Chain A
């Protein structure tokens, strides 16, 4: 992700080349940020992201159970992974869960965020209540929902017309449904917050001009609010994608990857291989594969959304 952002720097300057000289002259006067300004972040990123990543890459070519020193295993872990049906399924499941998360959480949080940005009565109280899930830890939320959805003593035992025999964790579709539902319950408030902030910063003059032109609330939403939220939306979607691909705690507590391996997503499979099966080589390979897939997906999002040439939505106002 970060690599893409820094790479996109020159591209951005190229597209806005006509304005380049002016910017540079003003920059010189203020004192251009030197390399040293980037040092704290770069050192931090290098130490806690790049170095571990390289180590994981090395580890993925070894066989190591945590005892003694890792033995060189060549491509063994990788060939095993590519012939492992669970691995391929887990990648697909990760992507599916992420997609469902984006599709369900985005409309919800846009609507809630725009509503919360208004100045209605009750708004502050209701939003405050609504943000409560944001204050709970992911583990607490998962434990809570696990208890609520217990087939014999939770909601399903009372609402049999809706849940049938309550075997929510016994079928792939319903188990995925539960995961998506809990993730939405947990994360929609965060994204609502992002949209609320963005909606608040939409200039009022736009709405005033639109209502003078006779545009109603819905038209204003479609033609002013939504386009103005574009940058916020990209930010939010990227957060959802990254968060979705690395989801772990909800799966660990709610489904444990079951039924069978039907909700074993890649991050959970990595954990099982490395920390339950003590096969750190394979675990590292899965981790690296997840990094590669996540990078590709992030690149696609960046490309499609034109994040790399993002401009102010307030241009011309």
Chain B
């Protein structure tokens, strides 16, 4: 009996303690929420957390100096961004403004009616659209509605090279055509150098080769058609030709034999380039700063870069680009601060914004960017990129970002298996045909 009363008593004490704690918790939470309501209003801006955040914070601070409605920057650390965003976007914790990649990354939110079309804002202030390069701005246009304002730098995929290695192998410069590239591969291989560094372990670097081959051979229209649900284009003659050319490059030993064990995310492929073990790397424009981090002198003196070679006879324009056009701010329909946000978004083409972005190595895609290119960290490189993006007839968003997120696994697996030889052209085509469509 004694034992039992002891148990009951301790249970009662524990229960009371728990209650007390929860009451205390209630008290503190209610007081904090009431204090939040006391201010005239704050909207949250959710951003992918990385080293770029200092510029975003500076812009928010600048906005708050003059505005009565305040902006508040929140960040989600890198790799988890898309997952966390998706889990909060339809809840009360959803932000008012959020960072995204345009295209497939916001398509389902737009379809679910969560996003505010920015058409009215643009009508009231046309500069919100005209101040940006169209090939970039259009990435966040869905079904004719504007859903995003570019807010970082553009990241086209470029063909980087090690100028020293090319010189030693007697190669005059970056390849201009596909045949040049095939020749270079032959020459480099004979010298015992891996012609092209590829971070196949990450899979998405492999995808870049498909993006460019399909663009050059079949033109940007093929992928657009596939994306809008016409999966038969994957089986077209142009698609088969692109795959057979890619196969030819792989079989020529262009990527060496161990690319599956190399990663881009741990700088494995960039190091191959800087150490001269490989001559080329196809990578997003951020590779410049990656290389700079490994060997600053190399980046300054020996790193070469060029657009992807042209393919004579192909339907695609040699000026076409693929990659991440930019990142965007989109606005949720539920926000109470539309007017303040439209003012906030005008800062994305301000002079301060452009200067700040350039100072950290990003290349903004506003029309006033050229005025400040002289102040960039690496002016020649930025000018090269800016001119490419400005002149590009088409700037295709990366496949895995253009398709809805549910397709990215299948795309990554298919490109990796094609490079491995685990599947052939037929297998690749059927894998792409069974992707969930964007519509």
Chain A interfacial positions (CB closer than 8 Å to B): 31, 34, 36-37, 65-68, 146-147, 149-153, 165-170, 255-256, 258-261, 272-273, 275-279
Which B residues are in CB contact (< 8 Å) with A67? 86, 89-90, 108-109, 112, 114
Query: For the complex, what is the distance from the CA of A166 to the CA of B109, rounded to whole Å?
Result: 44
- Choose among B268, B409, B417 the residue that contacts A152 (Cβ–Cβ < 8 A): B268
Is there an interface contact between A68 and B3, defined as CB atoms closer than 8 Å? no
Which B residues are in CB contact (< 8 Å) with A168? 261
> What are 12 A-B residue pairs whose CB atoms fall within 8 Å in the complex?
A34-B4, A36-B11, A65-B86, A67-B90, A165-B256, A170-B257, A256-B202, A259-B417, A259-B420, A260-B422, A273-B409, A277-B409
Judged by a CB distance under 8 angstroms, whether B405 is at the interface is yes
Is there an interface contact between B260 and A167, defined as CB atoms closer than 8 Å? yes
Counting residue pairs across A and B whose Cβ atoms lie within 8 Å, the total is 97
Is there an interface contact between A65 and B257, defined as CB atoms closer than 8 Å? no
Of B4, B405, B408, chain A has the most CB atoms within 10 Å of the CB of B405
For residue A150, which residue of chain B has the nearest CB?
A: B268
Is there an interface contact between B416 and A258, defined as CB atoms closer than 8 Å? yes
Is there an interface contact between B86 and A167, defined as CB atoms closer than 8 Å? no
Residue count of chain B within 8 Å CB distance of chain A: 41
Chain B interfacial positions (CB closer than 8 Å to A): 3-4, 7, 11, 83, 86-87, 89-90, 108-109, 112, 114, 200-203, 256-263, 266, 268, 271-272, 275, 277, 405-409, 413, 416-417, 420, 422
Is there an interface contact between A279 and B406, defined as CB atoms closer than 8 Å? yes
Query: For the complex, what is the distance from the CA of A66 to the CA of B257, rounded to whole Å?
Result: 40
For residue A282, which residue of chain B has the nearest CB?
A: B406
Query: For the complex, what is the distance from the CA of A169 to the CA of B201, rounded to whole Å?
Result: 8
Main SS of chain A's interface residues?
Answer: loop
Query: For the complex, what is the distance from the CA of A222 to the CA of B268, rounded to whole Å?
Result: 48
- The answer to whether residues A31 and B3 also contact, given A66-B86, A149-B261 and a CB cut-off of 8 A, is yes
Query: For the complex, what is the distance from the CA of A273 to the CA of B413, rounded to whole Å?
Result: 13
Main SS of chain B's interface residues?
Answer: helix
Is there an interface contact between A68 and B277, defined as CB atoms closer than 8 Å? no
Which A residues are in CB contact (< 8 Å) with B4? 34
Which A residues are in CB contact (< 8 Å) with B262? 150-152
Query: For the complex, what is the distance from the CA of A147 to the CA of B257, rounded to whole Å?
Result: 18
- Choose among B87, B259, B266 the residue that contacts A147 (Cβ–Cβ < 8 A): B266
Query: For the complex, what is the distance from the CA of A149 to the CA of B268, rounded to whole Å?
Result: 11
Is there an interface contact between B413 and A165, defined as CB atoms closer than 8 Å? no
Which B residues are in CB contact (< 8 Å) with A169? 201, 260-261
For residue B200, which residue of chain A has the nearest CB?
A: A170
Query: For the complex, what is the distance from the CA of A33 to the CA of B164, rounded to whole Å?
Result: 79
A64 nearest CB across to chain B (Å): 11
Is there an interface contact between A167 and B114, defined as CB atoms closer than 8 Å? no
Is there an interface contact between A256 and B203, defined as CB atoms closer than 8 Å? yes
19 further A-B pairs in the complex, CB-CB below 8 A; given A68-B112, A259-B260: A34-B4, A36-B7, A65-B108, A67-B109, A68-B90, A146-B266, A150-B266, A151-B262, A152-B272, A152-B275, A165-B258, A167-B260, A169-B261, A258-B201, A258-B416, A260-B417, A261-B413, A277-B405, A278-B406
Which B residues are in CB contact (< 8 Å) with A147? 266
Which A residues are in CB contact (< 8 Å) with B406? 65, 277-279
